[in-house]
Amino acid sequence: MDQQQFDFVVIGGGIFGCYAASYLAKKGAKIALLEKESRLFRKASLVNQARLHSGYHYPRSLATAALSDEHKERFTSEHRQFVHSSFEKYYAIDRFGSFTDPLQFERFCARIHIPFQRVDAHPLFNFNRLEALYLTEEHSFDPVLLSRYYSEMVDNEPLITVFLDVQLNRALPDGDKWHIEFSQSTSLPSSHLHLVTPTVINATYAATNAVNAMFGVDRLALTHELSEIAFVVSREFGDRGLTVMDGPFGSIMPYGLSGLLSLSSVAYTHHKISYEDLPQFDCQIAEDPSCRPNAPGICTDCSRRPVSNAAKMLAQMRQYFSESVQFEHLFSYYTIKSKLKSSYIDDGRPTEISMLRQSPRFYCLFSGKINSIYEVEKIV
């Protein structure tokens, strides 16, 4: 087996792995980017609500709210052509069962200096259910356009070599270097490769613990949810967004510049929950090696994905709208959403980057939100 030497091996070709690879290559480092699937950006970086967080969403986690705002401006200015910033975005509080009341929400927004304007009447909304409605400033990034942009960026960067269809077989430390062996399933005959590097960055999100285990470093305390994002359109609601805070409610908002609205709800988006370190679900079967707890697959493409909950999500969200507002469900995407167990306390979504081994070096990059890609610069 030929050995190839790299300054960094980045594992995981979502937005965090692609950003880390391109950031390091711009600094002159030679990078190998390893991705399990046949294309980059097929999982959480594609299947999400596309909310460019400004902080509104986290009234119980000032830290997450403040971090959202810290990176928002830079993310927007560097991705302007992929950000939808000209739609009306509303936040609302349900009259029943909210963890936040209007006074708390207003104080929270004032504390972190994010704009809000209370709206007392609006023909599109049902004020019998809404205790308070606010016009806010929140934007939406376009995951499909971001996927194209980052895929082209890593493909065209001479210092980055992208390996797709990767199956990691072995990782061993030897002095200050990692020796990583993997195969590429689609190559005929299937090829076996051996990379040598002083530094590994694990950016595999739902597969974080499987990769940590292969490198013999500590696991993170995670939970995993098999999640559905439904895509809908509405002639009456058009290109607007509504998020109902804070508790078992939901959100409907533009999915970037696509013309579609992404629909999700706390009660129905998450079909299955795995409290194990690895994402373990009853739809994973031994006969299908493309998805296992230690190597999860692409849920949207899977014939065993859950039956859509879009009708239930719509029934829940419909209560917040006037009777004249109708929605049509077109299709859904599915993926695994992974969270730090500690997030259950305050619903925060921190991005955690930890150096889990000093020599050879191993960084674990577990992301909370897309606009926190820049966190990698603080450490590496």
Ligand X SMILES: Cc1cc2nc3c(=O)[nH]c(=O)nc-3n(C[C@H](O)[C@H](O)[C@H](O)COP(=O)(O)OP(=O)(O)OC[C@H]3O[C@@H](n4cnc5c(N)ncnc54)[C@H](O)[C@@H]3O)c2cc1C
Residues binding ligand X (CB under 6 A): 11-17, 34-37, 42-45, 47-51, 53, 166, 168, 203-207, 211, 227, 229, 295, 335, 337, 367-371
Q: Which C-beta is closer to ligand X: that of 122 or that of 148?
A: 148
* Shortest Å, Cβ 138 to ligand X: 10
* Shortest Å, Cβ 12 to ligand X: 3
* Shortest Å, Cβ 199 to ligand X: 16
Q: Which C-beta is closer to ligand X: that of 98 or that of 367?
A: 367
Q: Which amino acid is at 194?
A: H
CB of 168 within 8 A of CB of 332? no
Q: What tokens were used for 256?
A: 């970037």
Residue 91 DSSP code: E
- Using CA atoms of 219, 223, 225, 229 in order, give the dihedral in degrees to the nearest 10: -80
Q: Which C-beta is closer to ligand X: that of 98 or that of 227?
A: 227
Q: Which of 39, 71, 47, 98 has its CA nearest to residue 266?
A: 98
Taking each helix axis from N to C end, the angle separating 143-156 and 15-26, rounded to the nearest 10 degrees, works out to 40
Name the pairing type of β-strands 361-366 and 31-34: unpaired
Instruction: Identify the helix (H) or strand (E) that includes residue 102.
Output: helix 102-111
CB of 220 within 8 A of CB of 328? no
* Shortest Å, Cβ 243 to ligand X: 10
Gap between the Cα atoms of 44 and 18, Å rounded:
13
Gap between the Cα atoms of 338 and 147, Å rounded:
20
Q: Which C-beta is closer to ligand X: that of 96 or that of 331?
A: 331
Beta bridge partners of 292: 295
Q: Which C-beta is closer to ligand X: that of 129 or that of 273?
A: 273
Q: Which C-beta is closer to ligand X: that of 4 or that of 324?
A: 4
* Shortest Å, Cβ 121 to ligand X: 29
Q: Which C-beta is closer to ligand X: that of 69 or that of 131?
A: 69
Alpha-carbon Rg for the chain, nearest whole angstrom, is 21
* Shortest Å, Cβ 126 to ligand X: 24
- Using CA atoms of 122, 59, 260, 240 in order, give the dihedral in degrees to the nearest 10: 20
* Shortest Å, Cβ 189 to ligand X: 21
Q: Which C-beta is closer to ligand X: that of 39 or that of 95?
A: 39
Q: Which residue is nearest to ligand X (CB)?
A: 14
CB of 61 within 8 A of CB of 69? no
* Shortest Å, Cβ 295 to ligand X: 6
